[in-house]
Amino acid sequence: MQKTIKQLTLMSVALLSAAPTVVAEEETIIATDAYSWRGDTIYQGKYKAWAPDEFSITSTYQAQPGYYMPIDSEWKLKNDISAYPQLTTPNRLHTAIYNMGLDEMVNAVEPDTTLRTGKAWGGVWTRDVSYSIILSMAYMQPTASMVSLMKKVNAAGRIIQDTGSGGAWPVSSDRMVWAIAAYEIYKVTGDRKWLEYIYPIIKNSLYDDLKTVSATNGLVHGETSFIDWRKQSYPRWMQTADIYQSQALGTAVVHAQAWKVLSEIAAELGHKDVAAKAAARSAEIASAVNREFWMDDKGYYAMYNYGREFPILNPRAETLGESLAIIYDVADSERARAITENNPTTAFGTAIFYPQIIDIPSYHNNALWPWVASYWAIANAKVGNEQGVAEAIGSIFRPAALFATNKENFRLDNGDIATELNSSNMLWCLAGNIALTHKILFGINYEKDGLAFKPFVPKALATKRSLRGFKYRNSTLDITVSGYGNEIKSFKLNGKEHKPFINANIKGNNKIDIVMAENDLAPMKVNHTLNAQAPLTVTAWLEDGRLMWNPGEEISSYIVLRNGERIAEIYETSYDATAPGVYQVIAKGNNGYESFASEPRSNLPKITVEMPGETTTLASSEISYQPLHPVSGYHGAGFVETDHKRGAIDVTVDVDRDGEYAVSLIYANGNGPTSTENKCAVRTLSADGKEIGVIVMPQRGSGEWTDWGRSSILKLPLKAGRHTLTIDLHPENENMNLVTNHAAIDRIELVRIKDGL
C-alpha cells in the first residue's frame, strides 16, 4: 500500500503577517488510501466533514446500520472556552477540532471538580485520568486533575488499581501511571505541598509492587496497560492467573518511569537513599525491557510474554507500549527510530496491536484509539519522523471531524465506531487532541523549573499559528510559531532573542515569537501495511506419547515448541512428545502471520500434596458471593480457606530428587466475576522459612466455588528431602478491596522443570 503526504505551499511573508485566511479548499494536507484532509475538509469515500467556521463542524458520515450508538452529524460550541488558550491558524478545520477539544473538556469537569471519563462513563478511573493528565489535563485543568488523583488513593494510602481481569491488582498492575501523572502536575504548578502529598503514596505503592509484581528477570508481572479486557488481547486459554504471570511491555515501561519519578521526587525532598534505590530499580526495568522484549527481526518490542513454566514472546507490535518506550527513554535513539519506521501503520492509522485476532470483535482488537495515536505522534516527533507525525495527526483529526466528537475507539478495518463499547466526549481522547497542538506544533514541554520549547511542524502543516492566553504559573503567554521543521531559527521573548526556555519564575503577560528553521529532516519511512489477522489459536493435547491438534484453515505450517523453544516446523497435525517437557503449537498462516501458541501441555513429573486440616464447607466471613451449588470438585478430603483471620498455612512436601520446581496452588475464588470487582487473593509463599515470592489467586466467577483453577507459578530450587512450604498473608499482599482477600485452596502442586541444582 502506498500513501502520500503532499506539502502545503508556503505562504508569503506578507500573508503570514496579515490576518489569518482560509487555506485553499482542495489543497491536500494529508492523504492515505482511506481518507484525505484537504483544506478545511476531511474526505472519506462518499462522506465528508468540514468546518463552516472555527466553532462548528458538520459531517455527512452515517454509522454502520443497526449500531446502538447514533452519530453526531454536527458539533457547535456550547461552553465558554475564553479562559483557555485560543488557537489562531489559517486552517479552520484544525481550529474547530481544537476548539471542540476545549468545549468537551469543559463538559468533562464534574460539579465535584473531578474529570469525567466520558459522556457514557461517569467517575474517575486511574489509568484514564492519569494518561489524560500526562497528555494535557495537568496544565489545562490542574485543580480537577489533583482532585481526581486524590480520589484514586485508598484508605491504606496506596494507589487504586481500577477493577479489571481477575479482580484488579495485581493481575492488572499499571496503576503506577498515577505517579507519572501526579509528578506532571507538580511540574506544571511547582506546588511543594502537592509534592509532599504524593511522595509517600508513590513510594508505598511502588514498594508494595516491588514485592508483589516484580519478576526475577527484572520485569513486572501483570496485564498490558489499559488493554484490560482479557479476550481482546490474550489467547482464550489464558486464565487470569496466567495474565498476572505474563509480563507486558507497556506496563513495564510505566513502572520504569514511575520509579524514575520517585527518584526525582525523593531527591527534591532530600531522601537520598530512596532516590538512589528508585533510580537503580528504574534502570533495572528499562534494561530488562531491552533484553527481554526487543526483536531485531521486526525492529520493535514484543507486546508481552506469556505461558506457564516456560514463557514465550507474543511478537505483536503494541503502539502505546512502543510509544512510551520512546517518550521515556527506555529505547535508545537507534531503537526509537526503528520503532517509528517499523510499527505497522494502516490507512486509518496505527493499531492498538498488530496483527489482529481473527475471531475477536473490535474494541482493543482491530482498533484505533485516538489518545494512543497522540502518544504515538509525540514519540514520532521526538525521533524526528516527519511523515509519522503527520499521519498520526491525521489519524486523530479524521475521526474527530467525521464523528463531530472525541470518540474513544474506531474499527481499524473501516474507520467506523461499531466496536463493542464506545462513548463520545472521551477524556483521554480530547486530552490527546489538545496535546497535538500544544506539545507538538507549539512544542511546549514542562520541566520542573520551567518551560522548554521544541516545536515539531511537518512541512505538510507549515503555516503561522498563534496561541493567545496560555497560562503558566504566574504568567500568561501569547505564543506564535511560524514555518516548519524541528529546529528553531529564532526565539524571541517580548521582542528580544532568548534561549527556547522560559524560567518558572516568569510573571505577567509575555509574548513569545518562534520562527522555525525550515530544515528538511532526514527522510524516514512509515511501515504502510494492510490490516491483517493472525490465524486461530490451535487446540492441542497429549495422547499416547504424541502432541495432537486439529487442522486449521489457510495454514501453511505448524511450529512445535518444547519448553518454550521452537523444535520443529511441520505440515502434519501431530508430533512425537515422548521426551519430557511442556509442549505447544503455533499455526503459521498463508499470510505469514503466526497464531498465539496453544495452551501448554506437560508430561513433566509432578508432586501433588493435599492441604492440612481440610474441610468441605465454606465458613469465612469474607465470602462475597455464596456458592451457586454445593462445593465440589476438590481432591482428597476437602480444602482449606485463607483470609485475613486464618494464619499461615504450613505444608510438608517430600521431594525425591534435586531440581528446580514450578509451584502452584489449585484454588477456588468465587468472590466476584472475572472482569470486575477487586477481590483477587494474594499470598506470600515461603520455603523452609525463606520468602520465595507471591502467589496470586484471581476471582473465577461470582459464587463459582466449584470452579477450581491454577494459581500463578513460582519457581524454586529444592534439594531431595523434606521441606516446609508456608502460605501466608503479608501486609504488602493486601488487595484493592481491603476487606475480602479470600480463597479456598485444594492442593499444592510441584512440577520438576529442571533436574539438578
Whether the per-residue pLDDT at 10 is higher than 80: the answer is: no
Residue 712 and residue 583 share a domain: no
Residue 260 and residue 318 share a domain: yes
* Rg (alpha carbons) of the chain, rounded to whole number: 27
What's the rounded Cα separation, in Å, for the pair 65 and 60? 15
Residue 308 and residue 261 share a domain: yes
User: In this predicted structure, which of 151-165, 586-600, 742-756 has the lowest mean pLDDT?
Assistant: 151-165
410 found inside a domain? no
Q: What is the largest CA-CA distance in the chain?
A: 90
**pLDDT computed for residue 260 by the predictor:** 98
524 found inside a domain? no
Residue 612 and residue 588 share a domain: no
What's the rounded Cα separation, in Å, for the pair 527 and 387? 11
The tens digit of pLDDT for each residue in 171-208 reads 999 999 999 999 999 999 999 999 999 999 999 999 99
CA 508 vs. chain centroid, Å, equals: 39
213 found inside a domain? yes
CATH of the domain at 562: 2.60.40.10
- pTM equals 0.95
Residue 131 and residue 214 share a domain: yes
Query: What residue ranges in 582-669 does DSSP mark as E strands?
Result: 582-589, 601-602, 606-610, 640-642, 649-655, 659-668
Boundary of a domain, candidates 569, 595, 621:
595
Boundary of a domain, candidates 295, 316, 343:
343
The tens digit of pLDDT for each residue in 612-634 reads 999 999 999 999 999 999 999 99
* Segment 127-156 mean pLDDT: 97
Residue 310 and residue 162 share a domain: yes
Residue 589 and residue 648 share a domain: no
CB 246 within 8 A of CB 311: yes
282 found inside a domain? yes
The tens digit of pLDDT for each residue in 100-119 reads 999 999 999 999 999 999 99
CB 245 within 8 A of CB 219: no
69 found inside a domain? no
Residue 659 and residue 577 share a domain: no
Boundary of a domain, candidates 293, 317, 343:
343
**pLDDT computed for residue 13 by the predictor:** 25
**pLDDT computed for residue 93 by the predictor:** 98
Name the residue range of residue 550's domain.
538-595
Q: DSSP letter for 114, please.
A: -
229 found inside a domain? yes
pLDDT band with cut points at 50, 70 and 90 for residue 69: confident
pLDDT band with cut points at 50, 70 and 90 for residue 71: confident
* Segment 43-50 mean pLDDT: 97
The tens digit of pLDDT for each residue in 519-561 reads 999 999 999 999 999 999 999 999 999 999 999 999 999 999 9
| Angle at the Cα of 67 from the Cα atoms of 61 and 69, rounded to 5 degrees | 75
pLDDT band with cut points at 50, 70 and 90 for residue 9: very low
Residue 698: CB atoms within 10 A of its CB come to: 30
* pLDDT over 70 percentage in the chain: 97
Residue 623 and residue 579 share a domain: no
Residue 731 and residue 618 share a domain: yes
432 found inside a domain? no
Residue 235 and residue 324 share a domain: yes
Q: Structurally, how many domains does the chain consist of?
A: 3
88 found inside a domain? no
Direct distance between the N- and C-terminal alpha carbons of the chain, in angstroms, rounded to an integer: 54
CATH of the domain at 157: 1.50.10.10
The tens digit of pLDDT for each residue in 476-506 reads 999 999 999 999 999 999 999 999 999 999 9
Q: Which residues contact 137 (CB under 8 A, 6 or more apart)?
A: 105, 115, 129, 144, 145, 427, 431
Residue 577 and residue 612 share a domain: no
The tens digit of pLDDT for each residue in 309-331 reads 999 999 999 999 999 999 999 99
What's the rounded Cα separation, in Å, for the pair 101 and 666? 50
